[in-house]
Amino acid sequence: MPNTALPGETPRPDPLDGTASSSSPSTAPAELTDAQKAAITGLFGSIDTIATELGDLFAAAGHELALVGGPVRDALLGREVHDLDLTTDAVPQTILKLIDGWADAVWTVGIDFGTVGLRKGGYQLEITTYRSESYQPKSRKPEVDYGSSLYEDLVRRDFTVNAMAVHLPGREFIDPFGGLSDLRERRLRTPGRPEDSFSDDPLRIMRAIRFAAQLGFTLAPEVKAAAADMADRLRIVSAERIRDELTKLMVSPDPRVGIEHMVDLGIASCVLPEIPKLRLEIDEHHRHKDVYEHSLTVLDQAIDLEKQRDMKPDLVLRLAALLHDVGKPKTRAFESGGRVTFHHHEVVGASMTKSRLSALRFSKDVVADVSRLVALHLRFHGYGKGEWTDSAVRRYARDAGHLLERLHVLTRADCTTRNRRKAAALSRAYDDIEHRIERLAEEEELNKIRPDLDGNEIQEILGIKPGPMIGKAYRYMLELRLEHGPMDKADAIAELRKWAEEQGEL
pLDDT tens, residue by residue, 14-61: 444 443 333 333 444 345 566 666 666 766 776 788 888 999 999 999
At 174, give phi and psi (nearest 5°). Answer: -125, 120
CATH 3.30.460.10 in the chain is located at 7-185
**Measured between alpha carbons, how far is 57 from 55 in angstroms, rounded to an integer?**
5
pTM, two decimals, is 0.76
Question: Could you give the residue ranges of the DSSP H alpha helices within 377-452?
Answer: 390-400, 404-413, 420-444
Pairing state between β 123-129 and 115-120: antiparallel
Kindly report, residue by residue over 75-97, the tens digit of the pLDDT.
Answer: 888 777 778 899 999 999 999 99
Please give the CATH topology (third level) of the domain spanning 187-271: Hydrophobic Seed Protein (1.10.110)
Whether residue 8 has pLDDT greater than 60: no
Q: Where in the chain is the domain with CATH 1.10.110.30?
A: 187-271
pLDDT confidence tier of residue 300, bands split at 50, 70 and 90: very high
Given this model, what pLDDT does residue 474 score? Answer: 85
Architecture per CATH, 285-448: Orthogonal Bundle (1.10)
C-alpha dist (Å) from residue 345 to 19, 100, 159, 325, 350: 57, 59, 41, 7, 8
Nearest to 151 by CA among 84, 275, 244, 66: 66
Cβ atoms of 246 and 359 within 8 Å: the answer is no
Mean pLDDT along residues 281-298: 70
Q: What is the pLDDT of residues 325-347, one digit of tens each?
A: 999 988 888 777 777 778 889 99
CATH for the stretch 7-185: 3.30.460.10
For residue 430, what pLDDT is reported? Answer: 80
**Which of 206, 363, 365 is CA-nearest to residue 272?**
206
Contact (Cβ atoms closer than 8 angstroms) between residue 6 and residue 16: yes
C-alpha closest to that of 297 among 413, 452, 192, 381: 413
**What length does the chain have?**
506
Task: Check residue 314 and report its DSSP letter.
Answer: -
Is 143 within 8 Å of 156 (Cβ atoms)?
no
The angle, 0 to 180 degrees and rounded to 10, between the axes of the packed helices 291-308 and 404-413 is: 130
Q: Is pLDDT at 419 greater than 90 in this prediction?
A: no
CA 50, 168, 192: angle at the middle one, nearest 5?
A: 125
Q: How far is CA 283 from the centre of its chain?
A: 27
Q: Which residue has the higher pLDDT, 37 or 123?
A: 123
From-to residues of CATH 1.10.3210 in the chain:
285-448
